[in-house]
Amino acid sequence: MNLTDPVADFLTRIRNAMRSRHQKLDVPASKLKAEIARILKEEGYISNYKPTEEEGMKLIRVYLKYDLQNQSVIRDLQRVSRPGCRVYLGKDEIRRVQGGLGISIMTTPKGVMTGRQARREGVGGELLCEVW
């Protein structure tokens, strides 16, 4: 399978799994996806993730999180920067997502971090996606 945008595929798999009320999902592993999963866990959007291997393929198993009414904690995820149209922001251009209720995930020279962390660190970078 040849994917032109593995991050968009990752976000779409999460979106589809939570709409189907799955407890977990497996995605092909990459360092960037592992970093995105780490941020989603730290920010409380997923309950956990772990690298795993099945039939020689490296995977990341993502455990989704639901509230007491069985609603997904993630309301929506959106890919911002795409291979055909990259979106780069300077440190002063990073805005709040959904009035501060969501997070943006960015790749910066200091690694993958949330928009809030990037503002604090004073670095800009590529805006990968927004989650709320």
CATH class of 77-131: alpha beta
Copy the structure tokens of residue 13.
């798999």
Q: Check residue 2 and give its pLDDT.
A: 60
The values of phi and psi at residue 122, to 5°, are 75, 35
Q: What is the pLDDT of residues 63-90, one digit of tens each?
A: 999 999 999 999 999 999 999 999 999 9
**Residue spans per domain, the chain:** 6-64, 77-131
Percent of the chain at pLDDT > 90 equals: 96
Q: Is the pLDDT of residue 1 over 70?
A: no
pLDDT above 90 (res 13):
yes
Question: Please, what's the b/e burial string for 90-124 (b: 16 or more CB within 10 A of its CB; e: otherwise)?
Answer: eeeebeebeeeebbbbbbbeeebbbbbbbbeeebb
User: CA-to-CA distance for 28 and 55, rounded, in angstroms?
Assistant: 12
**CATH architecture for the domain at 6-64:** 2-Layer Sandwich (3.30)
Query: Which tokens hold the place of 79?
Result: 């890919």
